[in-house]
């Protein structure tokens, strides 16, 4: 009987040592939010005096894109060409327009993107692509506005201007 009890105690001790430890697993899934932000300077208006004929250029300011995803920047206009504007509105009856469309040239001038973005020429009414990038940091683009004129473009009466509204839009290409 002592042998049986002794053997039982040994069996219990061996069994206790053979019991596996408690284990658990953990699965982790994470997402990384996409970021796409654009800052444009100047944000409101540009005024310049056009020559009666020839190339006219002026700074359109700059835009900075911060992104962790591929992007494109497009520029669109409310009119196909600069149009006669007076008293805070486009002239309604037979407005004068310039012969040639405005061009917006975007040139990358700075940034931290591992693969730099690429600027482009957007011609109002024809093409809208201003810039494209991989979105691996920051890209800064200088904007140059170009408005060619010809001698047959009509001069306007005092108080009137040629006017156009540009809208820059950054969007993801994911």
For the domain that residue 107 is a member of, what is the CATH number? 2.60.120
Q: Is 163 domain-assigned?
A: yes
Question: Contact, 48 vs 162, CB < 8 A?
Answer: no
On average, the pLDDT of the chain sits at 89
Question: CA dist 135 to 35, 68, 129, 167, Å?
Answer: 9, 5, 16, 21
Q: pLDDT digit string (tens) for 42-82?
A: 767 888 999 999 999 999 999 999 999 999 999 999 999 99
Please check whether residue 146 lies inside any domain of the structure.
Answer: yes
Domain of 135 in residue numbering reads as 36-42+52-172
Tell me what pLDDT residue 45 has. 80
- For the chain, the 3-state helix, strand and coil shares in percent, each to the nearest 5, are 10, 40, 50
pLDDT band for position 16 (cuts 50, 70, 90): low
Q: Is residue 4 part of a domain?
A: no
- Determine the average pLDDT of the residues in 93-113: 96
In a domain, 1, yes or no: no
The answer to the question of residue 114 being in a domain is yes
Q: For the chain, what is the domain count?
A: 1
pLDDT of residue 173: 80
Per-residue pLDDT at 3: 59
Decide if 23 is inside a domain: no
Is residue 151 predicted with pLDDT exceeding 80? yes
Q: Looking at the domain assignment, is residue 139 inside a domain?
A: yes
Evaluate whether residue 58 is within a structural domain.
yes
């Amino acid at each position: 009987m002592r042998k049986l009890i002794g053997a039982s105690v040994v069996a219990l001790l061996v069994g206790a040592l053979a019991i596996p430890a408690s284990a658990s697993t953990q699965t982790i899934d994470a997402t990384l939010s996409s970021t796409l932000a654009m800052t444009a300077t100047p944000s409101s208006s540009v005024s310049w005096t056009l020559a009666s004929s020839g190339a006219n250029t002026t700074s359109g300011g700059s835009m900075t894109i911060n992104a962790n995803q591929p992007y494109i920047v497009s520029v669109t206009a409310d009119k196909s060409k600069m149009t006669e504007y007076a008293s805070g509105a486009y002239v309604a009856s037979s407005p004068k327009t310039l012969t040639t469309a405005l061009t917006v040239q975007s040139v990358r001038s700075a940034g931290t993107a591992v693969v730099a973005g690429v600027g482009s020429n957007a011609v109002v009414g024809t093409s809208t692509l201003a810039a494209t990038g991989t979105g691996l940091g920051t890209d800064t683009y200088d904007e140059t506005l170009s408005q060619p004129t010809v001698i047959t473009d009509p001069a306007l009466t005092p108080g009137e201007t040629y006017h156009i509204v540009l809208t820059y839009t950054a969007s993801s290409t994911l």
